[in-house]
Structure 1
Amino acid sequence: MITPAAIVSGAATAALGILSVALCATVWRVVMGPSLPDRILALDMLTGIAIGFIAVVAVRTGFSLYIDIAISLGLVGFLATVAFARFVLSRGAVGEAEPETRRRSE
């Protein structure tokens, strides 16, 4: 008979494998992303994957402080994404068409 601890251990191992594959794919997108917004989105995804890793480690070890660390990382990751988005807005998106008001005045 399979014990609940064995099920949790197997699920944690599977989750770590899936998160590892997601991490590799996301790092590929950060390095090879065709545009800055793609890279920013991939960095946000890296934050989510890191939170997933921390959550799995918290479940495996039973150390509840990791949950607080994951929550803090989520907040910092959100603020970083907002800062990157504001940077892209102030810089202007690559390939963005001119607004209609500019075209009419010319």
Structure 2
Amino acid sequence: MDDSLYNAILTVAALMLVIAFLILTWRIVSGPNSLDRLVGMDGFVAIFQCSLATYICWSLNTTVANAMLVIALLGFISTVSVTRFRKRDSQ
């Protein structure tokens, strides 16, 4: 594959990730209750993993693959713990 085409595809992917990050940030800040904020944080963890995968594709450097695994595990554990011990929001 041509290098300029490869870089163009990765640039488009990175721009889409930035737009998704901005939308999720708005969801986290303006969420009407804590469950909406939790869903936004789950999306944030997924977007961060996708951005690390894009970085791996861009630089051809796989040293951050272990960090991706740690982020995935922390995201899962935090989601389970928050949903387990979450109290109802006041109506």
TM-score (norm: length of structure 1): 0.78
Q: Post-superposition, which runs of at least 4 consecutive aligned residues in structure 1 deviate over 4 A?
A: none
> Does 2:34 align with 1:44?
no
Unpaired runs of 5+ in structure 2?
none
Q: Report deviation, 1:93.
A: 5.8
Give aligned pairs, total. Answer: 91
> Please, which of 82, 85, 89 is the counterpart of residue 87 of structure 1?
85
Q: CA RMSD in A?
A: 1.5
Larger Rg: 1
**In 2, distance between residues paired with 1:81 and 1:28?**
19
- Tell me whether 1:23 sits opposite 2:30 in the alignment: no
Q: Return the TM-score normalized by structure 2.
A: 0.90
Query: Counterpart of 2:75?
Result: 77
Quote the residue 1:11 is aligned against.
9
Whole-Å separation in 2 of the counterparts to 1:94 and 1:12 = 44
Secondary structure of 1:59's match? helix
Alignment partner of 1:54 is 2:52: yes
What is the alpha-carbon distance in structure 1 between the residues aligned to residue 61 and residue 90 of structure 2? 45
The answer for the alignment partner of 1:68 in structure 2 is 66
Gaps of 5+ in 1: 96-106
Aligned sequence identity (%): 23
